[in-house]
Amino acid sequence: MAAPLQDYYSYSMAVGDGSGTEYTTASDGRITGIRIWENSNAYIRGIQLRYDADWTTAVCTSNGNPMEMTLRNNESIVQVSGKYYSGYIYEIMFVTSRGRSLKVGQPYGSSFNFYPTNVGSELRFLSGRQNGNGITSIGAHWALY
């Protein structure tokens, strides 16, 4: 008998000061792309995920030129790490099941490292808070797809 799906769900507790408005990137489908906006040589200003063929609404801001990664067939995000300091997420890195990564921001502040606690799980969505200028906290939700 297979384990219930909730046995494969895990949550990486949010880091950052958590000021501002709550956000979530939750959507239907599998994550197939990532866009990240950085405030020049400073903190992360915005994040956007693509599920199947559809982009979510950008979290916080989509002003400027984003760094972007498109996932390949059967590729998933298995790690999210970075740094936070003084009210903002300063650096974020997404690592895929194929060993590829997208890293944006400045290596400044306290480190965080998120990954699923169950074998075979992948990033399903991000949540946290933003204050209109940037991302102030981030947490990761993992599950089987």
User: How confident is the model at residue 18, as a pLDDT?
Assistant: 87
Domain locations in the chain as residue ranges: 5-143
> What is the CATH topology of the domain spanning 5-143?
Vitelline Membrane Outer Layer Protein I, subunit A (2.100.10)
User: How confident is the model at residue 117, as a pLDDT?
Assistant: 95
User: How confident is the model at residue 5, as a pLDDT?
Assistant: 56
CA distance to 15, 39, 73, 81, 84, per residue, from 108 (Å): 14, 14, 33, 13, 7
Chunked into runs of 10 residues, the chain (145 residues) has average pLDDT values of 67 94 96 96 96 96 92 97 96 98 97 96 97 96 94
User: How confident is the model at residue 2, as a pLDDT?
Assistant: 53
Yes or no: say if 66 and 102 are a contact pair by the CB < 8 Å rule. Answer: no
User: How confident is the model at residue 4, as a pLDDT?
Assistant: 55
Distance separating alpha carbons of residues 77 and 65, to the nearest angstrom? 22
User: How confident is the model at residue 122, as a pLDDT?
Assistant: 97
